[in-house]
Amino acid sequence: MPRRRVTRAFGQHMLVDRRILARIIEAAGIGREETVCEAGAGQGVLTAELCKRARRVISYEVDSKLYEKAREQLLPFHNVELVNADLFKTSDLHFDVFVSNLPYSRVRDAFEWLATQRFKRAVVMVQQEFADKLAAGPGDYNYRAISALATHCFAIEKLFGVGRQSFEPRPLIESAMIKVNPTNTATRETIKSLNLLFSKRNKKASSVAAKVGISADFGNKRIDQLSTGEVFKLAGSMKNIRSI
């Protein structure tokens, strides 16, 4: 596949390996009656393949220059809605399958947004470091708010690794394709509270709870040692709290 000049404004690395593209499509398993939501249309290469399989494709691209390139690429397709906006500021969107090869800077936003949505499955490209955070558990070095959110809301399967050479320009780190099946949803308010809690991840959980007026005994556990159930119970009790 020939190389193209691409924008770096949003930290985008374009997938240029057709073999990886084919594996993404296969992993998504799109049915003829399904609606696909894509975050990051890029130049529309993956979007075009989605259009060939889905009943409808809703694709968002926040970069105006890439949006125009994608619009040209997608002219032959009549089952696509291409939107020049930030998907993660959108609500009440109905779709079956989520597919994304996002700029790495937006992957966390994607998972926080997905946690509030109802859908059947997703296939998402992430950097390997982020995949490690998603898989981390209580007490692990990589255990963060996004780890607890992922454990609570999704069943995640790593599908395959993707080398740096599959992108243009080449990223500095390796990537991984993961499959996501939803198990629960979370409210935006709870996600905000979860992030606030983990901003004090090394503090004693009981002390943090007392500071926000919640009576809870977590023994000597720090925030980053709480189980997913414990941390969600605490976050769910922190309504309208903006600082700790």
For the stretch 48-107, pLDDT in tens is 999 999 999 999 999 999 999 999 999 999 999 999 999 999 988 999 999 998 888 899
Domain count, the chain: 2
Does any domain span residue 127?
yes
- Any residues with CB less than 8 A from the CB of 167 and at least 6 apart, and which? 13, 14, 15, 16, 17, 175
Same domain, 149 and 68: yes
Domain boundaries, position 194: 189-236
Within a domain: residue 5? no
Per-residue confidence (pLDDT) for residue 6, from 0 to 100: 41
What's the count of helices (H) and strands (E) in the chain, helices before strands? 9, 9
Shared-domain flag, residues 159 and 179: yes
Is there a single domain that holds both residue 166 and residue 216?
no
**What pLDDT score does 218 carry?**
93
Residue 140, domain member (yes or no): yes
199 plus 179 within the same structural domain? no
| pLDDT at residue number 12 | 66
pLDDT value for 47? 97
- Whether 228 is in a domain gets the answer yes
**Whether residue 101 is found in the same domain as residue 138:** yes
Q: Do β-strands 175-182 and 14-15 pair in parallel, antiparallel, or remain unpaired? A: unpaired
Would you state the pLDDT for residue 112? 98
Does some domain include residue 6?
no
Collect the ranges in the chain with pLDDT lower than 70. Answer: 1-12
Q: What is the pLDDT of residue 169?
A: 87
Share of the chain above pLDDT 90, in %: 80
CA 61 to chain centre: 15
Assess whether 147 and 56 both reside in one domain: yes
Query: Comparing C-alpha atoms, which of 97, 23, 18 is closest to residue 55?
Result: 97
